[in-house]
Amino acid sequence: MGKARQISQPPSRGRRFMVGRDKHGQWAVCDEKGLIGGLFISRDAAIHFAMFESDHVPGAVLYVPDTIIISLEPLFKMNRSAAPSVIPKRM
């Protein structure tokens, strides 16, 4: 099982965004509450968005390895109380 890699040092208030791939292989970003996120054309674009949205706070962005799938389904559901899903890939 892969380990997540932080983009920078951990902030005092914790991680805010995850950057990784969805089940279709597209670059995805989601916040810890499932309120902000989206799909991006490249890894760099996804990281740029996450860093901008987190005010460039060190450690607020977590890069998720390819062995983990990010699901953005909670972003598009009416019930926003659910946090984004992170699903291990089956090998």
Residue 88 is assigned to a structural domain of this protein: no
Contact 42, 27 (CB under 8 A): yes
Dist CA 64 CA 3 (whole Å): 8
Q: What is the pLDDT of residue 35?
A: 82
What contacts 68, CB < 8 A, 6 or more positions away? 2, 4, 20, 86, 87, 88, 89
Full domain range(s) for residue 52: 5-78
- Per-residue pLDDT at 22: 92
pLDDT digits (tens, 9 = 90+) for 2-18: 555 555 544 445 568 99
pLDDT tens, position by position, 23-64 = 999 999 999 888 889 999 999 999 999 999 999 999 999 999
Decide if 84 is inside a domain: no
User: Does residue 22 fall inside a structural domain?
Assistant: yes
Beta 37-40 vs 27-31: how paired, if at all?
A: antiparallel
Instruction: Establish if 39 belongs to a structural domain.
Output: yes
Is 15 a member of any domain?
yes
* Rounded CA separation 68/87 (Å): 6
Task: Tell me how far apart the alpha carbons of residues 19 and 42 are, in angstroms, rounded to a whole number.
Answer: 11
Tell whether 29 is covered by a domain: yes
Asked if residue 83 belongs to a domain, the reply is no
Question: Considering its fold, how many domains does the chain have in total?
Answer: 1
